[in-house]
Structure 1
Amino acid sequence: MNLLPITAPASLLDAHRLDPEAGGWGFRVDHAVATTAGDTYVLTGLRRYRGHAAGSADPAEQNFGYQLITRHGADGKPTATAVFGQAAPGGGPTAVPERDGTTLAVLPDGAVAVSSPPGSTHLLSAELDEVLASWPMSWGWDNRQAPGEDPFAASIAVTPAGRLLCMTSEYGLSNWAGAHANTVAVSEPGSALGPGPKPLLRAIATLDARTGRQSDADSYAHVRYGDGPVGRDNRPSPSLTEALSELTGTSGSLHGYLDSTMTRPAALGEDLFVVPVFGKTYRSSNRGQEFSFALVDDRGMLRGRLGGLHLREDSPFTGFDFTVVADPHRARAFHLNRYGLYAWSADGVLRARMSTAEKPFKPLVHFALLECTPAGELLLAHRKQHLLLRVPVPQDLDDLGPAVETALKGYGRERTVLKKQYEPVNWLWSDRAATVNHL
């Protein structure tokens, strides 16, 4: 089957006596990654909030917030689930905090890296039963890092040769409080992330160069440029903000790249990466605001952008769909937003566009694009029905439209089969077969 149920452990639902028919709870899908062997790890969040329940001693009434990672075997069945974010009823404190923006990466040795803004990384065993190492970074609005912080990365992607493509954060940028994602860095060939010393990361790009408030205390020894840590003026130049402003002719424009943000970089190849950069978000409508899916090589050169997008007609600001995924084994990139699904070759040429205004592709507005697998499949999560759809991508991107149409047509049929097996209530799919590990 090309459809997987995105499940929650029945034992956790039982412990909190969660009634899917009642209100006050929510379930979201954050990310998913797959291994070359066909296993799939799905990261989700499960919460319940009742304003009157803060002091209740009854687990059935208490508010809670967990994150879950569920491993599915090659046959699609859940085999193990890691639960973290808070202590489970009757359990000890959690080793991994819950964080918005968390993403996963499967490392070459099979371990699972869990990274979240502004720079925390936790390393889990492939079986999801052990925390192998942790490098925490607090989420606060102070202008300086907290004592004892030992961060690694806000996100990690893995190149075909096993190098780590990372996004890291900095304090003391412009007039912002707290730490912001600002650096794109890669590990050296042959280095590994595991218990013990962290591998060095070589900075290849920074988003914002306004670092006048930084001090030596705002740098990290493992994120380096040249002979020293990234900090103050020791960083790749020009910044992405400056380079994209020059490329697009928007320097000094109110709707340019000043105060822009970036999301998780994706590996388009061993030495070519996609860095999504988005102009400042305003409280009013942002449709038409500047954005670029920048192409950056491993020497830090801006090689252009993924092309063919219209600032308004293809705007990712509608729905805030800012994810770009890539297939480094076949050198292609993909993006899905409320207006369409897009595919590019490594030279940045738009090869396919499936508009959600067209009948066969209208269902795409209900899906979020999570990742591309080593086998070349797109992983799409239904926003409400909590199902993971695999879309095999043809070798020729010109054939992607028919492949997506076929997958969408088969969705309802495969969903019916799964509903008979799992009997979900309000699209909450519970599972009792997988091993549950509270981390």
Structure 2
Amino acid sequence: MTLLPATVPASLLSVHRLDPASAGWGFRVDHAVATAAGETYVLSGLRRCRAHADGSADPAEQDFGYQLITRCTTDGTPTACAVFGQAVPGGAPSVLPESSEATLAVLPDGAIAVSSPPGSTHLLSPDLDEVLVSWPMPWSLTRQEDCREDPFAASIAVTPAGRLLCMVSEYGISNWAGARPNIVAVSGPGTTLGTGHKPVLHAVATLDARTDRQGDADRHTHVRYGDAPVWRGNRPSPSLTQALSELTGTSGSLHGYLDSSMSRPAALGDDLFVVPVFGAMYRSGNRGQEFSFALVDDGGVLRGRLGGLHRYEDSPFTGLNFTVVADPYRGRAFHLNRYGLYAWTADGVLRARIPTADKPFKPLVHFKLLECSPAGELLLAHRKQHLVLRVPVPQDLDGLAPAVEAALKSYGRERTALKKRYAPVNWLWPDSSAVVGHL
């Protein structure tokens, strides 16, 4: 099947006596990754919030906020589910915090990395029954002296050679409070990440070089530029903010790259990466604001941008769709927003633009782009129906539009089959087959 549900353990629904037909709860799909063998790990979140629940000792009345990772077989059957974010009633405290910005990565040894801003990384066993090691970096407006902080990365992507492409946060950036994603760094080939193994990351790009506020404690010893940790002036130069401003001729413009942000970098290969960079956002509206999907190599050279996008007509700011995914085995990059699905080759040339205004592709506006699988499939999640759609990408990107159209046509048929199997209410898909572990 090309469709699989983001399920919730029936036991979890039972302990809280959650009625899907009632109000006050919400479910989301955050991310998904696939293994080379075709298994899928889906990261999702389940919350309930009701004003009258404060202080209640009854699990049926309590508010909660869980995050779930569900392992599915090649045919979409759930086999294991890790529940974390808070203690299950009667259980021990959760080791892993909940984060709606968390993402997954499948490491070369099969372990699952869960990373979230500003820089926490946790490794789970492939069966999702054990936390192997954690490098925590909790949210804070300022660095806390008494806080146990040992960060690794805010996000991880794995290249074919086993290099870890990471986004790393820093304190003391310009006038920003707290730690902010600011460094793109990569490990060496065949890197081992695990208990007792925290590899050195080599910085290849910095977003913002305004670091005069950084103190001695703001060094990350595992992130290096040259022979020393990245800190203050010891970092790749020019910054992406400066380089993209010059490339686009927007230096000093209100719609330029000053105070810009970046989202999770994607690997186009072992030595070429895509870094999504977005200009500052304003209350008055942001469609038409500057953005770039920058191409950066492992030597820190800006090779250009993914081309062919119009700043207004293809704006990712509508709906805040800032994700770019890549297929490093075939050298392709993809982006989905309210206006279209886009595909590029590794040289940055736009090879496919599928407008969501065209009738066959209008359903795409309901989907969120999650990831690209090792088999070259796009993983899309329906925002309301909580189903993950796998879209095979043809070798020739000229055939992407027919492939997407075929996948969307099969969506309704496969959804009907899943509804008969799971009997969802309000698109909440209960499951009793997966082994559930509380982490």
TM-score by length of 2: 0.99
Report if the CA contact (8 A) 1:117-1:155 is conserved.
yes
Residues 1:40 and 2:40 aligned together: yes
Helix, strand or coil at the partner of 2:296: strand
Determine the structure 2 residue equivalent to 1:328. Answer: 328
- Name structure 2 gaps, 5 residues minimum: none
Distance in 2, matches of 1:130 and 1:6, equals: 21
Distance (Å, rounded) in 1 between the aligned partners of 2:232 and 2:366: 43
SS at match of 1:250: coil
Contact in 2 for aligned 1:144/1:178 (Cα 8 Å): no
- Contact 2:45–2:100 (CA under 8 A) maintained in structure 1: no
1:65 corresponds in structure 2 to 65
Which residue of the partner structure matches residue 363 of structure 1? Answer: 363
In 1, the alpha carbon distance for the partners of 2:234 and 2:134 equals: 27
Q: Which runs of 5+ in 1 are unaligned?
A: none
Distance in structure 1 (CA, Å) of the matches to 2:65 and 2:148: 26
Q: Cα distance, 1:146 vs. partner?
A: 5.8
Distance 2:179 2:29 in 1: 25
- Cα deviation, 1:391-431, whole Å, max 9, x if unaligned, reads 00000000000000000011001100110000000000000
SS of the equivalent of 2:109 reads coil
The Cα shift of 1:5 comes to: 0.9
Report the CA distance between 1:145 and its aligned residue. Answer: 6.9
Alpha-carbon distance between aligned partners in 2 of 1:379 and 1:275, rounded to the nearest angstrom: 20
Find the counterpart in structure 2 of residue 109 from structure 1. Answer: 109
Partner of 1:247: 247
Residues in 1 aligned to 2:284 and 2:65: alpha-carbon distance in whole angstroms: 30
Q: One-letter code of the match for 2:68?
A: L
Secondary structure class of the residue paired with 1:247? helix
| 1:145–1:171 Cα contact (<8 Å) kept | no
Q: Compute the displacement of 1:197 (Å).
A: 3.4
Q: Deviations over 1:339-395 (max 9, x none)?
A: 000000000000000001100110000000000000000001000001010000000
Deviation string for 1:196-237 (max 9, x for gaps)? 131000000000000010112101110000111001000000
Aligned residue for 1:417, secondary structure, equals helix
Q: How does 1:177-256 map to 2 (within 5 A)?
A: 177-256=177-256
Match of 2:92 in 1: 92
State the distance in 1 between where 2:284 and 2:52 align. 33
- Following TM superposition, by how much is the alpha carbon of 1:322 offset from its aligned partner in structure 2, in angstroms? 0.3
Question: Does 2:377 correspond to 1:377?
Answer: yes
In the alignment, is the contact (CA less than 8 A) between 2:245 and 2:251 conserved in 1?
yes
- Quote the residue 2:409 is aligned against: 409
Of 178-187 and 139-148, more deviation after overlay is shown by: 139-148
Are the structure 2 counterparts of residues 145 and 181 from structure 1 closer, same or farther at C-alpha, using a change threshold of 3 Å?
farther
1:325 is displaced (CA, Å) by: 0.2
The Cα offsets for residues 146-175 of structure 1, whole Å up to 9 and x where unpaired, read as: 643100000000000111000000000101
Distance 1:361 1:145 in 2: 52
In 2, Cα distance between the equivalents of 1:429 and 1:169?
A: 35
Query: How far 1:190 sits from its partner (Å)?
Result: 2.5
Distance in 1 between residues matched to 2:340 and 2:145, nearest whole Å: 40
Is 1:396 equivalent to 2:396 in the alignment? yes
Distance 2:108 2:165 in 1: 13
Please give the secondary structure, in 2, of the residue aligned with 1:57. coil
Aligned to 1:127: 127
Contact 1:143/1:177 (8 A) holds in 2? no
Query: Partner amino acid for 1:231?
Result: W
CA distance in 2, matches of 1:171, 1:34: 33
Runs of 4+ in 1 over 3 A off after TM superposition: 143-147
One-letter amino acid matched to 2:299: R
Q: What's the % identity of the aligned pairs?
A: 78
Which is worse superposed, 235-244 or 182-191?
Answer: 182-191
Partner of residue 30, structure 2: 30
CA–CA distance in 2 between the matches of 1:329 and 1:301? 21
3-state SS in 1 of match to 2:11: helix
Question: Could you state the TM-score of these two structures normalised by the residue count of structure 1?
Answer: 0.99
What is the DSSP-based 3-state SS (H/G/I as helix, E as strand, rest coil) of the residue aligned with 1:14? helix
1:143 Cα deviation from its structure 2 partner: 5.3
Equivalent residues of 1:135, 1:150 under 8 A apart:
yes
**Paired position in structure 2 for 1:286:** 286
CA distance in 1, matches of 2:9, 2:272: 39
Deviations 1:79-99 (A, max 9, x none): 000000000011000010111
**Preserved CA contact (<8 Å) 2:334 2:344:** yes
- Does the CA-based 8 Å contact 1:39-1:73 persist in structure 2? yes
Give the direction of change, closer, same or farther, for the CA distance of 1:191–1:145 in structure 2 (3 Å limit). Answer: farther
Q: Is the 8 A contact 1:119 1:137 kept in 2?
A: yes
The 1:42/1:257 distance shift into structure 2, 3 A limit, reads: same
The AA in structure 2 aligned to 1:401 is A
Amino acid at match of 1:179: A
> Could you tell me which residue of structure 1 aligns to residue 157 of structure 2?
157
Q: Does 1:434 align with 2:416?
A: no
Number of residue-to-residue matches in the alignment = 439
